[in-house]
């Protein structure tokens, strides 16, 4: 695997190999990388988890992390992303992790660039490392994918997590439902009321309302009442069902604040799992260089 760009490009075998390697890292395995590789994290959109988690994973697999400040880079003087990444390649970097606001920004990097590219989120497109950590969280919980039911509720059309997860989960045999207001469904067939979803789902995955991508008035209270996970709805979930959310969380909008760390919530475990999964992603890409 030279790059990680979209879950569409990964076979089930490649996904399962990354999850298995993440499990080994969680159990204390050492990296198989033979030398220290140079990596940089280019984040042109805000991030807390993904950027920090990649940096932790990079250090844990022995990489040398070269600082890159998107807000002080020469892209502010008009340099293209291609020229920026080519420049980093010539300086000696092996791999770059990129988050950018344009969908499929990585397409301009596929010809002529010889560093590994890891997509840490492209606009409303894909978020493959988040998807892999979501899969790892589900696999750790249930030990399988086949036959599970996952309901993804929230801002579906703007969500790169929903798109990435739906592709991967369905290919692994998971029944995926969507729940959102009618105007947020995008290309997905979604339900617009909770009817039956709580009782039948093994995973309820809430998504952040991406206020920065909406330009019409939105009532947080109305949304919470109709589509949010309230304490009353949590009580209707299956006994062994879990709650997930890629975070950051809008407390009391998509999920009641008191449920964020409840017994069935895996929201902060997802963050922890992300480090092991990103170690596995980095090792997989770097060992082929």
Annotated binding site for carbamoyl phosphate: 49-50, 99, 127, 130, 247-248
Q: Which pair of tokens denotes residue 231?
A: 């304490």
DSSP state of 50: H
42 or 198: whose CB is closer to ligand CP? 42
112 or 248: whose CB is closer to ligand CP? 248
Q: How far is CA 213 from the centre of its chain?
A: 18
CB of 44 to ligand CP, least distance (A): 12
**d(C-alpha 43, C-alpha 236), whole Å:** 39
x/- letters, 36..65, toward ligand CP (CB under 6 A):
-----------xxxx---------------
CB of 130 to ligand CP, least distance (A): 5
Distances (CA, A) of 101 to 84, 126, 160, 179: 16, 11, 11, 25
Which of 126, 130, 164, 177 is close enough to bind ligand CP by CB under 6 A? Answer: 130
- Tell me, by CB under 6 A, how many residues bind ligand CP: 8
**d(C-alpha 287, C-alpha 274), whole Å:** 20
Beta bridge pairs of residue 38: 64
Q: Which helix (H) or strand (E) holds 281?
A: helix 267-286
CB of 6 to ligand CP, least distance (A): 15
130 or 157: whose CB is closer to ligand CP? 130
113 or 169: whose CB is closer to ligand CP? 169
**d(C-alpha 101, C-alpha 42), whole Å:** 12
| Backbone dihedral angles phi then psi of residue 120, each to the nearest 5 degrees | -100, 25
Contacts with ligand CP in 237-276 (CB under 6 A)?
Answer: 246-248
CB of 200 to ligand CP, least distance (A): 26
The residues binding ligand CP (CB under 6 A) are 47-50, 130, 246-248
């Amino acid at each position: 695997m030279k790059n990680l760009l979209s879950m569409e490009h990964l076979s089930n075998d490649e996904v399962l190999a990354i999850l298995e390697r993440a499990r080994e890292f969680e159990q204390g395995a050492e990296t198989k990388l033979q030398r220290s590789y140079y990596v940089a994290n280019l984040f042109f959109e805000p991030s807390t988890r993904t950027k920090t988690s990649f940096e932790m994973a990079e250090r844990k697999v022995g990489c040398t992390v070269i600082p890159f400040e998107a807000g002080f880079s020469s892209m502010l003087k008009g340099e293209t992303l291609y020229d920026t990444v080519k420049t980093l390649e010539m300086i000696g970097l092996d791999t770059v992790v990129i988050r950018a606001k344009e969908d499929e920004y990585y397409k301009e990097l596929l010809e002529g660039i010889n560093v590994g590219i890891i997509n840490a989120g492209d606009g409303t497109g894909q978020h493959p490392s988040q998807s892999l950590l979501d899969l790892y969280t589900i696999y750790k919980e249930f030990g399988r994918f086949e036959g599970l039911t996952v309901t993804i509720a929230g801002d579906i059309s703007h969500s790169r997590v929903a798109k990435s997860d739906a592709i991967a989960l369905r290919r692994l045999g998971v029944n995926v439902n969507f729940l959102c207001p009618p105007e947020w469904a995008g290309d997905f067939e979604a339900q617009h009321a909770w009817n039956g979803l709580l009782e039948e789902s093994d995973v309820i995955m809430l998504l952040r309302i991406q206020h920065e991508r909406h330009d019409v008035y939105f009532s947080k209270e109305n949304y919470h009442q109709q589509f949010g996970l309230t304490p009353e709805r949590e009580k209707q979930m299956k006994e062994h069902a879990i709650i997930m959310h890629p975070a950051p969380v809008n407390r009391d909008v998509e999920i009641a604040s008191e449920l964020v760390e409840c017994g069935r919530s895996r929201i902060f475990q997802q963050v922890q799992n992300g480090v092991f999964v990103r170690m596995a992603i980095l090792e997989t890409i770097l060992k082929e260089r």
